[in-house]
Chains A and B, each alone.
Chain A
């Protein structure tokens, strides 16, 4: 008799567990990391799961390339994660879920993420809330201060021009025998920081792409000449083909680069990897003929339309976007906040070293100096078509395959052809 009771209790227990398991909704997040943000978000999500037993969050940490190349194909086939951390905000926008009907407080999102929401909206939609910026990035230079000190050369000041920096970096590199005076990521974002500062307008009066103008040509010529003069080494821009991204992280942390034009997302990584090996600082965006600006950008966490559990997705997004959680995320990952409220209050990056804190301040201060053209380009749905065409063709000119004039013609035709292809219905 007693054994029968045991059996019943076991059966009841098992059915309860099974029931609970069945009631649990799984939300998958595809996440790439530049630094330690994967670990941070993983911690935060554990807390979310503890508070929300009905939702299981699976964090798939994937390489950057998987986000830029595999995810769009997955999404186009109607598959993919429920949430993804993406950089091609405009390209992914058409697969994004409008969270507005599922959010408890949509006004919170409008207030705190307002200027960035259009970056993630599908074309023609001016209301949707599809995600938030996991960080706001600003492109700009990171400088090896120790190399300047060893060379006994003064670092250019706040309003220094690109020429001033190139001259100083070359002098330092010659003196200390560093192979990379200036290194710039092989990336459209980095190039257009320079181009906009040189006066590139990118769009015509109707808002259509008109990439090649005097400002663009000045920037392209500068990058071309820097390669000829040895200010930039060919290993980055001249070593791969097409739209391939190539960074100089390894070279910078090995103290081979005097000035590295990259951006704010590198801070956490260099704080950890460089450590005490040498002193590095972030410098304000160098000035071109027209402005002293970098490019804004960042990675957005976007809800995906194909999800089967929009309510659960909204709950996860609300949790991650909430002020205390997001503050902790930004503070621990050393990111410039993409949340206006947090940015206004200021963040205490208490785990950061003094040099990382100083670099974060420099980049945060740059946000106010960003050119409207740079914002417009960042918000343009086809911006990566422009970025890719520019680096691919300028790269060819640098490696001696074509002339810059030929590259300009090809950039214009590449952009036109790819936008036409995208618009074919």
Chain B
């Protein structure tokens, strides 16, 4: 019969036991008094308050300031010194003949950024999900040095995006490693980061390479949660492997897949640092992303157009909010399942 008494703390835990107990005793009195005063149910809000204040200060307040900036003009930094222009910045952004043709838009760079971001996100998410899934499935098998391979695939996630981009720039530039290989085999140099199609391909590739490990980990966790007896039953029935994957693995992994897809989508839309270092948005504007456009409009141009950048940020924020809602909806369905 198990004892109801909690086990005595050992080792390091014993070191902290005394000060913790002292702290608890110190906090106990005011908390109990507060609980008596406002009631047990309202105490929950007291515990939520510090975090709400923190988020308010560092997330919601800047968000509100951003919205305020988006309806002002000029180049002053303080909102009080900026003239109110209403929806002028939005009107300027959305002044388009056709939203599918950036050339027909007054602010064509913004729409080129939107088009590039959409293209990048579609390719990147598709590739990311596909490669992460294959990698997770393989790393879930009983292969030799499985732990080593799991670490290898996760390693790029630990690197700074700037390091990733600089490493790949070193590989892809005119006199880079890849061209050295091509020319040593008698081939012609390829200007990977100067040709628009190649540049888009490589930013997708580098992005997938850098972040795949994270999504692989999520899918691996999902794969390991699938009960082994289902596979055993399928094996006893001599079910073909593709059918097992299609009928057991994929449906049970689907909630994780949804999380991966939505997270990758959000991250894809926010892409900036790797592309900024690798191609600088070029050639031309072939890899200019929305976030890069916002940065350039607000900080790089001589006229630091905070109003227009803020309006573009609000538009981006709305898209990200919609994607976050999708993730929450997917998450709740997963919970229901």
- 11 inter-chain pairs at a CB distance below 8 angstroms, sorted by A residue, are A69-B299, A179-B174, A235-B174, A241-B281, A242-B109, A244-B281, A244-B282, A401-B285, A417-B92, A421-B308, A422-B74
A305 within 8 A of B: no
Q: How many positions in chain A have a CB within 8 Å of any CB in the partner chain?
A: 41
Tell me whether A406 and B288 are in contact in the complex, defined as CB-CB below 8 angstroms, given that A76-B77, A241-B281 are known contacts: no
Q: Which of B183-197 contact A (CB under 8 A)?
A: 191, 193-194, 196
Majority secondary structure of chain B interface residues (helix, strand, loop or mixed): loop
In the complex the two chains form, what is the Cα distance from A418 to B303 in whole Å? Answer: 6
Q: Which of B127-162 contact A (CB under 8 A)?
A: none
B74 touches A384 (CB 8 A): no
A384: nearest residue on chain B (CB-CB)? B302
Interface string of B280-293 (1 = CB under 8 A from A): 11111111100010
Q: What residues make up the interface of A, taking CB atoms closer than 8 Å to B?
A: 68-70, 72-73, 76-77, 88, 91, 179, 234-235, 238-244, 246, 382, 384-385, 388, 395-396, 398-402, 406, 410, 413, 417-419, 421-422, 424-425
In the complex the two chains form, what is the Cα distance from A419 to B279 in whole Å? Answer: 29
A77: nearest residue on chain B (CB-CB)? B77
B196 touches A385 (CB 8 A): no
In the complex the two chains form, what is the Cα distance from A234 to B173 in whole Å? Answer: 12
B281 touches A425 (CB 8 A): no
Interface string of B94-112 (1 = CB under 8 A from A): 0000000001001011000
B284 touches A238 (CB 8 A): yes
A393 to chain B, nearest CB (A): 10
A236 to chain B, nearest CB (A): 10
B194 touches A242 (CB 8 A): no
Complex interface: chain B residues within 8 A of A91 (CB):
302
Tell me whether A73 and B281 are in contact in the complex, defined as CB-CB below 8 angstroms, given that A234-B191, A241-B288 are known contacts: no
In the complex the two chains form, what is the Cα distance from A382 to B77 in whole Å? Answer: 18
Complex interface: chain B residues within 8 A of A68 (CB):
300
B279 touches A388 (CB 8 A): no
A63 to chain B, nearest CB (A): 14
B174 touches A401 (CB 8 A): no
B302 touches A385 (CB 8 A): yes
Kindly identify which residue among A240, A243, A406 contacts B279, using a CB–CB cutoff of 8 Å. A240
B83 within 8 A of A: yes
B73 within 8 A of A: yes
A280 to chain B, nearest CB (A): 20
Complex interface: chain B residues within 8 A of A410 (CB):
108
B195: nearest residue on chain A (CB-CB)? A234
A239 touches B193 (CB 8 A): yes
A422 to chain B, nearest CB (A): 5
A242 touches B300 (CB 8 A): yes
Kindly identify which residue among B75, B286, B300, B308 contacts A399, using a CB–CB cutoff of 8 Å. B286
B111 to chain A, nearest CB (A): 12
Tell me whether A73 and B299 are in contact in the complex, defined as CB-CB below 8 angstroms, given that A400-B196, A418-B305 are known contacts: yes
B80 within 8 A of A: no
A388 touches B76 (CB 8 A): no
B209 to chain A, nearest CB (A): 21
Q: Which of B56-104 contact A (CB under 8 A)?
A: 73-78, 83, 85, 92, 103
B304 within 8 A of A: yes
Known A91-B302, A242-B301, A385-B303; 5 more pairs at CB < 8 Å: A70-B299, A76-B77, A241-B281, A401-B284, A418-B305
A72: nearest residue on chain B (CB-CB)? B304
User: Looking at B74, B292, B304, which has the most chain A CB atoms within 10 Å of its CB?
Assistant: B304
A238 touches B75 (CB 8 A): no
Tell me whether A243 and B76 are in contact in the complex, defined as CB-CB below 8 angstroms, given that A384-B302, A401-B286, A421-B303 are known contacts: no
B235 within 8 A of A: no
B282 touches A241 (CB 8 A): yes
In the complex the two chains form, what is the Cα distance from A418 to B279 in whole Å? Answer: 25
User: Size range of the interface on B?
Assistant: 35 or more
Complex interface: chain B residues within 8 A of A242 (CB):
109, 281, 285, 288, 296, 300-301
In the complex the two chains form, what is the Cα distance from A160 to B304 in whole Å? Answer: 40
In the complex the two chains form, what is the Cα distance from A383 to B132 in whole Å? Answer: 49
A75: nearest residue on chain B (CB-CB)? B77
User: Looking at B85, B103, B281, B285, which has the most chain A CB atoms within 10 Å of its CB?
Assistant: B285
In the complex the two chains form, what is the Cα distance from A130 to B210 in whole Å? Answer: 48
B106: nearest residue on chain A (CB-CB)? A413
B283 touches A238 (CB 8 A): yes
B189: nearest residue on chain A (CB-CB)? A179
A238 touches B103 (CB 8 A): no
A76 touches B75 (CB 8 A): yes
Interface string of B183-223 (1 = CB under 8 A from A): 00000000101101000000000000000000000000000
In the complex the two chains form, what is the Cα distance from A180 to B196 in whole Å? Answer: 20
A406 touches B283 (CB 8 A): no
A392: nearest residue on chain B (CB-CB)? B109
A416 to chain B, nearest CB (A): 11
Complex interface: chain B residues within 8 A of A77 (CB):
77-78
A231 to chain B, nearest CB (A): 16
In the complex the two chains form, what is the Cα distance from A382 to B174 in whole Å? Answer: 36
Complex interface: chain A residues within 8 A of B73 (CB):
421, 424
Complex interface: chain A residues within 8 A of B196 (CB):
399-400
In the complex the two chains form, what is the Cα distance from A396 to B166 in whole Å? Answer: 24
B280 touches A238 (CB 8 A): no
Kindly identify which residue among A76, A243, A421 contacts B296, using a CB–CB cutoff of 8 Å. A243
In the complex the two chains form, what is the Cα distance from A395 to B288 in whole Å? Answer: 13
Complex interface: chain A residues within 8 A of B299 (CB):
69-70, 73
Tell me whether A425 and B284 are in contact in the complex, defined as CB-CB below 8 angstroms, given that A91-B302, A382-B302, A385-B302 are known contacts: no
Complex interface: chain A residues within 8 A of B193 (CB):
239
In the complex the two chains form, what is the Cα distance from A91 to B282 in whole Å? Answer: 26
Tell me whether A241 and B285 are in contact in the complex, defined as CB-CB below 8 angstroms, given that A76-B75, A77-B77, A422-B75 are known contacts: yes
A425 touches B74 (CB 8 A): yes
User: Looking at B194, B196, B303, B304, which has the most chain A CB atoms within 10 Å of its CB?
Assistant: B303
In the complex the two chains form, what is the Cα distance from A246 to B280 in whole Å? Answer: 10
B194 touches A234 (CB 8 A): yes
In the complex the two chains form, what is the Cα distance from A424 to B308 in whole Å? Answer: 13
Complex interface: chain B residues within 8 A of A238 (CB):
194, 282-284
B284 touches A421 (CB 8 A): no
B296: nearest residue on chain A (CB-CB)? A242
Complex interface: chain B residues within 8 A of A421 (CB):
73-75, 303, 305, 307-308
In the complex the two chains form, what is the Cα distance from A69 to B303 in whole Å? Answer: 11
Complex interface: chain B residues within 8 A of A424 (CB):
73-75, 83, 85
Kindly identify which residue among B109, B292, B302 contacts A88, using a CB–CB cutoff of 8 Å. B302
In the complex the two chains form, what is the Cα distance from A396 to B191 in whole Å? Answer: 17
B120 to chain A, nearest CB (A): 14
Kindly identify which residue among B76, B83, B282, B302 contacts A239, using a CB–CB cutoff of 8 Å. B282
In the complex the two chains form, what is the Cα distance from A421 to B73 in whole Å? Answer: 7
In the complex the two chains form, what is the Cα distance from A179 to B303 in whole Å? Answer: 36
A76 touches B174 (CB 8 A): no
B281 touches A240 (CB 8 A): yes
B305 touches A396 (CB 8 A): no
